[in-house]
């Protein structure tokens, strides 16, 4: 069975909000991205606290993500295709830890990946203003 392994939300101050969860609930910091995102975990579910960059996207929970075992992938993708769900790659190539994404029948976005997230050191470098703007434009997908 595919497992929900992360939940992502948009925040005005991701580092500050992540620190709040760390202090109040004892969550652990697992990574930061060059785009200002912070990853924390309770040891089971990863929590991505992402920078709010697009006024058309509401603050708060944005999407969730499934980790799919390799043997399940073809059957799951076939079911999605049979139901007319368009699979897309989120972002502009700046999310190597997410393979694909789609939306459920009510429009809720979810990611699908075949392994646990590992942030490449390149992903952790601070981004230029141009890179941030380009990423913000793509996130409206």
Residue with tokens 């799951």: 76
Q: Which range of residues forms the domain containing residue 131?
A: 3-138
Reported as a single tens digit per residue, the pLDDT across 108-124 is 888 888 765 555 555 55
Rounded CA separation 1/99 (Å):
18
Can you tell me the distance from the alpha carbon of 3 to that of 13, in angstroms, rounded to the nearest whole number? 28
Asked whether the predicted pLDDT for residue 129 surpasses 70, the reply is no
The C-alpha atoms of residue 120 and residue 97 are separated, in whole angstroms, by 9
Q: Contact at 8 Å (CB) between 32 and 39? A: yes
Give the helix/strand (H/E) hosting 38: strand 38-41
Summarize pLDDT for 47-68 with one digit per residue, the tens. Answer: 999 898 877 778 888 888 888 8
CA distance 98 to 89: 8
Domain containing 29 — which CATH number?
Answer: 3.10.180.10
| pLDDT confidence band for 20 (50 / 70 / 90) | very high
The separation between the first and the last C-alpha atoms of the chain, rounded to the nearest angstrom, is: 27
Grade residue 138 by pLDDT with cuts at 50, 70 and 90: very low
Number of independent structural domains in the chain:
1
Rounded CA separation 67/116 (Å): 7
């Amino acid at each position: 069975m595919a497992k929900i392994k992360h939940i992502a939300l948009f925040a005005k101050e991701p580092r500050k909000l992540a620190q709040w969860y760390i202090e109040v609930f004892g969550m652990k910091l697992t990574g930061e991205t060059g785009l200002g995102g912070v990853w924390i975990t309770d040891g089971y579910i990863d929590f991505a606290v992402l920078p709010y960059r697009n006024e058309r996207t509401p603050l708060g929970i944005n999407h969730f993500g499934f980790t799919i075992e390799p043997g399940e992938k073809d059957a799951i993708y076939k079911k999605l295709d049979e139901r007319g769900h368009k699979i897309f790659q989120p972002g502009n190539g700046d999310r190597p830890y997410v393979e694909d994404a789609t939306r459920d029948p009510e429009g809720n976005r979810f990611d699908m990946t075949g392994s646990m997230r590992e942030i490449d050191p390149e992903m952790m470098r601070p981004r230029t203003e141009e890179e941030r703007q380009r990423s913000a434009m793509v996130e409206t997908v």
